[in-house]
Every structure is written in structure tokens, then in C-alpha cells.
């Protein structure tokens, strides 16, 4: 059987047909695109270009030059406003924007949205940038720029609207850094004493000093004090906690304010109430005063907090104290140390079922309010009243401060601590603080020393 010869001319006709078809399709697409673009420009609409380079009709370019002062281009969800004279064929559209963590103190190691310098940004007069969720969730952002001297603030607390940030550019800056700088902590006096009708200025320090949001809110008993322009005024005898909170970040400081009546019978020197200034910070839901972790009926720990046992600093101090006690023929050991949140749930519920809630609250902490969860507290030898007045209890009362410990719930101090006398319960605070508390007075409690409350809300 004879095979038919393959005709090359037919193949060429087919190729030419397909090439013409592709050309016509591209021409139609480009024509339609440019027609929409030209009509949009005439209506003074925003130009949407999804390509990396502008290839438009010459009459579109001429119309922009003759009739418009500025033109706004939408590219990759961002809007760039440039001078109409800078709009031309061949204009490269490359908005290099990406996430970048900057290890600089002013940024507090926060992730920033970095806009890199390029031809389009250089020509811009205004940028409208769509920011990622980690920024738009805060509603406000800062913009920093970089020059030969380093980073400097360009725009402060810019409003985020529908996930976009709008700002004017400046040709002398190479790049822009959009960021949100968190307020890590608020520092102030932990205790303020003031007389009725007396005013005292309260110093409040923010760290870092350049957070995006410096807006604070205040909670206090308005019958006892007034608070305006960082000034406390005593209205009525009593005490209240002035809670200073960041409106946008999860941080706060607590100031215990005690208002007293001014007594005429005492000398002027005694009328002046001493104000102890201790730094109060709240970090990760935990309150620290003077660097000491505070846990009582007012200040709690997060459910997740778990150091995994008694801390290394507690055990090192305990072994030192244990060795010293043996020289005096006193034997000390840990009867009950670290307790997790879950363990405290079962223990507290057991005591409530046996003695009732009111009784249990005098000797057992509710879950999240137990010092045992800190890993810095332990019951020594025997956690019951049989330990009272033993040689071991007497030795601890006289010597534990030398090794950084305090009797956490001293005798006769239930109104301050919220717990009955527990000579066996030791809390590690460090040798310096323990000595100061010991020297401040016999059986003084941690609450008295720092002017703190220890009361459940319910």
C-alpha cells in the first residue's frame, strides 16, 4: 500500500493560522484592557494595573499628562499616588513590601512591614498600603524611616482603616517601616498615702518609652479618691487600688492608695505620710513588686504557669539554711513544695467539702492563688498547728531571713494576709528583701511591707 506524502505546506498554513489566532486574542485582550483603562482615566477613576510594567495607549498617557495633576495606581492591592508627569509607558511597577523583624531597641524586636525603595516608591507622593493582620488588628500603627543616623519616627499612631494605612511619602527617605510597638509594662509607686483633701502627683513610667499606643485607662473607687492629670486627691478615709491599664496592650500596674484623716494633735512632721516607692509591673499576667513575684488573694497566677517544681534558687537557699540549722541540732526538710494549678483544684475542693468554703479560705488558697504554684514557697517539716512553738519553728522564725526566706503568714496578721498563722510556710524572696522585711518590724507581713491587699473579689 502506498503511503501519502506529508504535505509541509499544510503544516505551515496551520502554524500561521495558530500564530494569527494567538495574536488576535492578545490584541483583543490588550485593546479591551486599554479601552477600560482610557475610559477609567477620563472618569478620573483609580487605575488598576496587575502587570509588572505599564504598556498603555499613547493617547491615555497624553490625556493623563494634560488633564490630571496626580494619578493613583492600584497594584497588588496597594495604592500608589504619583505625579501625572511620571506616568509613562514602561513604568516599572514593583512595590517591594515584606515582613521584617528588626533587632533594634526602638522597635522592641517587633515584626515590621517593610517597604523597600524602588522606582515607583521614589516617584510616589502618597501610599495606601494594605497591612497584614498582626498590624491591622491594633487599629493604629507607627511608621519609621531610616537615614544615615539610623531609624527615626516618621508618622505616629496612624489610623488603620479597612486594613489600609494611608500616608504621604518623602523623597529623601529610602524605605518605610510600618510597625506596632507594644507597651511591655507600666511602672509606678506600689503604695501612696494621702490625707483627705490632699493632692499627690503620681509618676507613671512606660517601657518602652515609644509604644504605639500610650493611652491608659484607670480604675479606682471614686468615693475614696479622684484621679486627674496623674494627680491623686484624697476624698474620704479608706483605701483603694488604683489600677492603671493600657487600653490596647495587656499590661497594667496597681497602686494601693491609702487615704487618712489629717490629725491636728500631731506635729507637722508626723502629719506627713511617707510614700514608699516600689516598682510594680505586670508581665504575662503575673504581678511583680520590687522584682518580687506577688501571689495572694488579690494577685493570681495564670493557670498555665508551671516552673516544674521548686526553683533552683529556692533549693540552693534551702540547702544553705538546712546545713546551718544542723549545726544548731535543728533538722529541716520540705514537707510540701511545688503544687500545680490542677493539684490545687483537687486540694481546695477537698477542704471545702470537709470544712466549708469560709473555713477553707483561711488556710487553703484557691486554684491560681497559691504561692506553692510559684515554685518559691514550701511547707517545712509539718503543715499543721503541731509545728508551732517547736525548736524548728522557733529557729526558722529567728533565722530564715538570713537565707532569703520569710514566714509568709505571720502570727496575728490574718487581716493583712488573708490566712491564719502558718509558721511552717516559707517564701523565698532573696536575702536583701528578706532582711529588709525582718528589720521593718516583728512579724511584719509581705502585704504590710509593700502596702498590698489580699482579698478575693467574691
What's the CA gap between 407 and 261, in Å, rounded? 32
DSSP string, 129-177: EEPPHHHHTTSEEEEEEEETTEEEEEEEEEEPBTTEEEEE--TT-S-EE
CA-nearest of 204, 206, 207 to 188 is 204
CA-nearest of 190, 193, 259 to 221 is 259
What's the CA gap between 184 and 246, in Å, rounded? 10
| Residue for grid cell 514566714 | 407
Active-site annotation holder among 198, 312, 354, 422: 422
Assess contact for 341 and 373: CB atoms under 8 A: yes
What's the CA gap between 195 and 235, in Å, rounded? 8
CA angle at 212 for the pair 207 and 214, rounded to the nearest 5°: 65
What's the CA gap between 375 and 419, in Å, rounded? 19
| 422 tagged catalytic | yes
**CA dihedral of 417, 418, 422, 427, whole degrees rounded to 10:** -40
The DSSP secondary-structure symbol of 372 reads G
User: 419 vs 68, 381, 437, 446, CA distance in Å?
Assistant: 77, 19, 18, 12
Angle between helices 391-399 and 312-327 (to 10 degrees): 120
Residues forming the active site: 422
Amino acid at each position: 500500500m502506498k503511503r501519502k506524502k506529508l504535505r509541509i505546506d499544510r503544516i505551515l498554513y496551520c502554524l500561521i493560522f495558530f500564530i494569527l489566532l494567538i495574536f488576535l486574542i492578545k490584541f483583543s485582550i490588550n485593546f479591551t484592557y486599554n479601552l477600560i483603562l482610557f475610559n477609567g482615566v477620563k472618569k478620573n477613576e483609580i487605575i488598576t494595573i496587575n502587570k509588572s510594567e505599564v504598556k498603555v495607549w499613547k493617547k491615555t498617557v497624553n490625556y493623563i499628562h494634560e488633564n490630571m495633576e496626580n494619578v493613583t495606581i492600584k497594584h497588588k492591592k496597594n495604592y500608589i499616588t504619583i505625579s501625572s508627569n511620571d506616568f509613562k509607558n514602561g513604568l516599572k511597577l514593583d512595590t517591594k513590601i515584606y515582613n521584617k523583624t528588626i533587632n533594634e531597641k526602638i522597635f522592641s524586636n517587633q515584626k515590621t512591614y517593610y517597604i523597600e525603595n524602588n522606582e515607583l516608591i521614589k516617584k510616589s507622593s502618597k501610599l495606601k498600603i494594605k497591612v497584614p493582620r498582626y498590624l491591622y488588628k491594633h487599629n493604629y500603627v507607627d511608621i519609621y524611616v531610616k537615614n544615615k543616623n539610623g531609624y527615626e519616627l516618621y508618622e505616629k499612631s496612624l489610623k488603620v482603616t479597612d486594613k489600609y494605612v494611608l500616608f504621604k511619602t518623602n523623597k529623601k527617605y529610602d524605605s518605610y517601616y510600618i510597625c506596632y510597638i507594644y507597651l511591655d509594662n507600666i511602672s509606678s509607686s506600689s503604695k501612696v498615702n494621702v490625707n483627705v483633701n490632699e493632692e499627690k502627683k503620681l509618676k507613671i513610667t512606660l517601657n518602652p518609652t515609644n509604644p504605639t499606643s500610650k493611652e491608659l485607662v484607670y480604675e479606682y473607687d471614686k468615693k475614696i479618691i479622684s484621679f486627674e492629670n496623674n494627680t491623686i486627691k484624697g476624698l474620704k478615709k479608706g483605701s483603694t487600688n488604683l489600677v492603671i491599664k493600657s487600653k490596647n496592650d495587656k499590661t497594667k500596674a496597681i497602686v494601693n492608695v491609702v487615704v487618712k484623716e489629717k490629725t491636728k494633735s500631731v506635729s507637722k512632721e508626723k502629719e506627713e505620710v511617707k510614700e514608699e516607692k516600689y516598682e510594680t509591673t505586670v508581665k504575662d499576667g503575673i504581678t511583680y513588686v520590687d522584682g518580687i513575684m506577688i501571689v495572694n488573694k488579690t494577685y493570681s497566677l495564670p493557670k498555665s504557669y508551671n516552673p516544674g517544681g521548686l526553683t533552683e534558687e529556692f533549693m540552693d537557699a534551702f540547702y544553705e539554711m538546712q546545713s546551718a540549722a544542723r549545726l544548731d541540732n535543728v533538722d529541716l526538710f520540705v514537707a510540701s513544695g511545688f503544687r500545680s494549678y490542677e493539684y490545687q483544684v483537687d486540694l481546695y475542693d477537698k477542704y471545702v467539702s470537709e470544712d466549708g468554703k469560709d473555713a477553707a479560705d483561711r488556710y487553703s488558697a484557691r486554684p491560681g492563688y497559691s504561692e506553692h504554684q510559684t515554685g518559691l514557697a514550701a511547707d517545712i517539716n509539718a503543715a499543721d498547728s503541731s509545728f508551732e512553738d517547736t525548736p524548728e519553728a522557733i529557729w526558722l522564725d529567728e533565722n530564715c531571713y538570713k537565707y532569703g526566706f520569710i514566714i509568709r503568714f505571720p502570727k496575728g496578721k490574718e487581716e493583712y494576709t488573708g490566712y491564719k498563722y502558718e509558721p511552717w510556710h516559707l517564701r523565698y524572696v532573696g536575702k536583701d528583701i528578706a532582711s529588709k522585711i525582718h528589720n521593718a518590724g516583728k512579724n511584719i507581713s509581705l502585704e504590710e511591707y509593700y502596702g498590698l491587699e489580699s482579698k478575693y473579689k467574691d
